[in-house]
């Protein structure tokens, strides 16, 4: 099969529309947070649709809060929160896909986190991050510091292992004799 050189076409219609806005925003972000911004990957140079901002783990909540509340940014909508298993050190990347309802512009924030490390929770910025973080914990085993209710969400509470890790086996069973019972402590 014909495998061509990688082409950065997935910028699509975003680039002509938001290219300059992104540049000013990234500069403002760098001026505000300095060393906390580890790396920035801009679209035509990297094959990505929107800029990726790598933020140091401990500084993620102030950065997200700034992106949400600052008038130049106004990324008020958490479109998605997920993670990827990069199979190198540090192992995981927690991904925040943000969307601005006012400028209709998107940006992606990433945090590199080693296996067993904790990321500060984003619930104080968006309440809706709660379940998404639980899912990342369930699927990847990335823990979130300060999360009020970090239980498994998709898998059974007695499940062993984190399915979306790359070394997790594709086949196998874990059978439980009874269903998950009601947990009255959650209703207090």
Q: Could you say which of 42, 76, 117, 143 contacts other proteins (CB under 8 A)?
A: 76
Quick check: helix, strand or coil at residue 112? strand
Q: Could you say which of 38, 66, 84, 143 contacts other proteins (CB under 8 A)?
A: 84
Quick check: helix, strand or coil at residue 126? coil
* Residues between 13 and 42 that touch other proteins (CB under 8 A): none
Strands 106-113 and 118-120: unpaired
Q: How far is the CB of 126 from other proteins (least distance, A)?
A: 6
Distance, CA of 179 to CA of 154 (rounded, Å) = 14
Extract the tokens encoding 14: 């975003």
Q: Which stretch binds other proteins (CB under 8 A): 19-27, 31-39, 55-63, 173-181?
A: 173-181
154 binds other proteins (CB under 8 A): yes
Q: Which is nearer to other proteins, 66 or 168 (CB)?
A: 168
Q: How far is the CB of 58 from other proteins (least distance, A)?
A: 24
Q: How far is the CB of 70 from other proteins (least distance, A)?
A: 16
Distance, CA of 10 to CA of 130 (rounded, Å) = 30
Q: How far is the CB of 176 from other proteins (least distance, A)?
A: 9
Q: Could you say which of 3, 31, 160, 175 contacts other proteins (CB under 8 A)?
A: 3
> Do the Cβ atoms of 55 and 112 come closer than 8 Å?
no
172 binds other proteins (CB under 8 A): no
Extract the tokens encoding 185: 């402590």
Quick check: helix, strand or coil at residue 113? strand
Listed residue (91, 67, 184, 76) closest to 143, CA to CA: 91
Q: Report in angstroms the alpha-carbon separations of 175 from 138, 159, 172, 185.
A: 18, 9, 10, 25
What is the contact surface with other proteins in residues (CB under 8 A)? 1-10, 12, 46-50, 76-80, 82, 84-85, 95, 97, 101, 104, 106, 108, 126-128, 130-132, 139, 153-155, 157-158, 163-164, 166, 168, 170, 177-178, 180-188
């Amino acid at each position: 099969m014909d495998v061509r050189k990688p082409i950065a076409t997935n910028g699509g219609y975003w680039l002509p529309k938001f290219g300059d806005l992104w540049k000013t925003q990234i500069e403002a972000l760098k001026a505000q947070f300095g060393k906390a911004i580890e790396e920035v990957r801009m679209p035509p140079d990297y094959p990505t649709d929107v800029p990726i901002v790598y933020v140091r783990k401990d500084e993620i909540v102030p950065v997200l809060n700034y992106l949400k509340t600052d008038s130049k940014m106004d990324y008020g909508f958490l479109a998605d929160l997920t993670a990827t298993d990069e199979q190198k050190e540090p192992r995981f990347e927690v991904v925040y896909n943000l969307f601005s309802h006012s400028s209709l512009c998107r940006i992606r924030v990433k945090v590199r986190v080693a296996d067993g490390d904790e990321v500060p929770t984003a619930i104080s910025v968006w309440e809706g991050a709660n379940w998404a973080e639980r899912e990342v914990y369930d699927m990847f085993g990335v823990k979130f510091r300060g999360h009020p209710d970090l239980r498994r969400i998709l898998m059974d509470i007695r499940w062993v292992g984190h399915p979306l890790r790359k070394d997790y086996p594709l086949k196998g069973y874990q059978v439980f004799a009874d269903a998950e019972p009601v947990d009255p402590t959650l209703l207090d």
